[in-house]
Structure 1
Amino acid sequence: MDARIAIAGGDPEDLPSLYEWLVGEDELRGLVRISQRPIGQTELGSAVDLLTVALGAGGAGSVLSSALITWLRARRTSAKVTVEAEGRSVTLEIETLRDVSALLEQVLGTDDRHDTDRDA
């Protein structure tokens, strides 16, 4: 499974910074690549604006989840980080980090509980 990470707003250096942060994690080294978003019908081209992380067995999803939250807390940025995997997505912001941690784990498949347990 691949997780796609997009950053909206914030500083133009946020994406390169996040890339460097993620490849600094031993468990993610070699799994992170810079990608391009598909070109929309009204767009002339596509900028490099996505990170793709190959997730598999071995806990890479948990490492990615923790690394994203730590990076965002350390940045003091107004950026919004959207993580998408297998048709599910969640958007992270400094103000909502506490609220979205469980959702991020669900998107990345790192939470072992069943979906019905989350509604309780």
Structure 2
Amino acid sequence: MPTGSVAITGDEQELRSLARWLRDEDDLRGRVSLADRPIAAGEMGGVLDSVVVVLTSATAGQLVKSVFGWLGQRRHASAVVLKARNARGAEIELKCGSAADASVVLGDLRAFLSDGE
């Protein structure tokens, strides 16, 4: 089964909200974590950089559905960027904005994960 990971980038407060939303999904539970960017000189601690989701081609649909569901619930809808890495280490960036993007993002993500087999 093709596997990979997705790092979702955006505003720190938005990322924390998205992580809570994704963790409520049964299919994604235990696959969602928060990642800090490396601590820079003069900083006292890490700064949230992304939400990381480990997934398979089977859970990719739930991830995309959940991300677009979360975006649809936001008062100030914004876009997030999915940065996916497949099992071979190849990377792709997919922008998630309007609901119309959902089927294209899902198709591209599944095809990308399958290429990593």
SS at match of 2:104: helix
SS at match of 1:89: strand
Per-residue deviation, residues 70-101 of structure 1 (Å, max 9, x unmatched): 000011224321001131111222xx331x22
**Structure 2: gaps of 5 or more residues:** 86-90, 113-117
Report how many residues are paired.
104
Q: CA deviation at 1:108?
A: 2.5
Is the 8 Å Cα contact of residues 71 and 77 (structure 2) preserved in structure 1? no
Counterpart in the other structure of 2:99: 97
Counterpart in the other structure of 2:69: 70
Bigger fraction of residues in strand: 2
**Structure 1: gaps of 5 or more residues:** 112-120
Is the 8 Å Cα contact of residues 62 and 110 (structure 1) preserved in structure 2? no
Counterpart in the other structure of 2:115: none
TM-score normalized by the length of structure 1: 0.71
Counterpart in the other structure of 1:88: 92
TM-score normalized by the length of structure 2: 0.73
Once residues 104 and 38 of structure 1 are traced to their aligned partners in structure 2, the CA distance between those partners, rounded to angstroms, is: 29
What is the RMSD computed on CA atoms of the aligned residues? 2.8
Where do 4+ consecutive residues of structure 1 move more than 6 Å?
none
Alpha carbons of 1:39 and 1:108: their partners in 2 closer, same or farther (altered >3 Å)?
farther
